[in-house]
Amino acid sequence: MLINPTIDMLRELGLSGMASAFQELETQPEARALQHGEWLALLLEREATTRRQKRFEARARAARLRHDAQIENADFRAARGLDRNLFMKLTTCDWIRQRHSLLLIGPAGVGKSWLACALGHKACREDLSVVPPCAAPLRYARPCPGRRPLREAAQEPGQKRFAYFGRLGA
């Protein structure tokens, strides 16, 4: 079987995850023992994983979050008064889907921005849009240059639910 034309065809069809998985499976002798259905399942799983990863990367890039914060790295031992159960409930992102607001308050330097970025990354992983920080629509009730007001963007028909992470008064 000619492998390169098949890989080229997969890439032309926009199935780059499948193409790379196909290349990897061809080099592994254990893969020869797989049935056709198992092969196809592996290829499809790789393609789905690749697409999810690309979607996440695009959302995270568009969100322009300041910190590369992950909820798994949250430090609950720090003296900031963070309720572990409440934070873990927030990480489910149900508050975004239900269109609730979240305001993180506290003294300077306790990690409010870091926590907001961690929640933003989690929202991106949950396939939710995260609006880049621009506090002008909230602070002055007028849009940032080149952007629509937050309220207008949220009420757009067919708009997916999204979270807004930014700093007020910045």
Tens digits of residue pLDDT in 54-111: 988 888 888 888 888 888 888 777 777 778 888 889 889 898 888 887 887 777 788 8
Tell me the pLDDT band of 139, cut-offs 50, 70 and 90: very low
Do 45 and 80 lie in one domain? The reply is no
Q: How many residues does the chain have?
A: 170
Checking if the pLDDT of 143 tops 70, the result is: no
Q: Which helix (H) or strand (E) holds 134?
A: none
Q: Rounded to an integer, what distance in angstroms lies between the CA atom of residue 161 and that of residue 93?
A: 10
Checking if the pLDDT of 19 tops 80, the result is: yes
Do 37 and 76 lie in one domain? The reply is no
Whole-structure pTM value: 0.61
Vertex 149, ends 96 and 112: CA angle to 5°? 50
Q: Which of 40, 63, 86 is the last residue of a domain?
A: 63
Do 158 and 79 lie in one domain? The reply is yes
